[in-house]
Amino acid sequence: MPDFAGPALVRLNDNDLTDQGRTFDEKRDERAAENVTANGTIKKYIIAEKRTWDLSWSMLPQYASDTYDEKGARDMIKALAMVGNTVTLRVRNSYGEEYIYTVWIQDYSEKIVRRDFVSNIFLYDVSISLKEQ
**16-65 per-position pLDDT tens digit:** 888 888 888 889 887 878 888 888 888 888 888 889 999 999 999 998 88
Domain ranges of the chain: 10-132
- CB-based burial, 32-49: b 16+ in 10 Å, e otherwise: eeeeeeeeeeeeeeeeee
**Pairing status of strand 22-36 against strand 15-16:** unpaired
Q: Write down how long the chain is.
A: 133
Q: Which of 23, 68, 28, 63 shows the shortest CA–CA distance to 46?
A: 28
pTM of the model as a whole = 0.77
CB 100 within 8 A of CB 89: yes
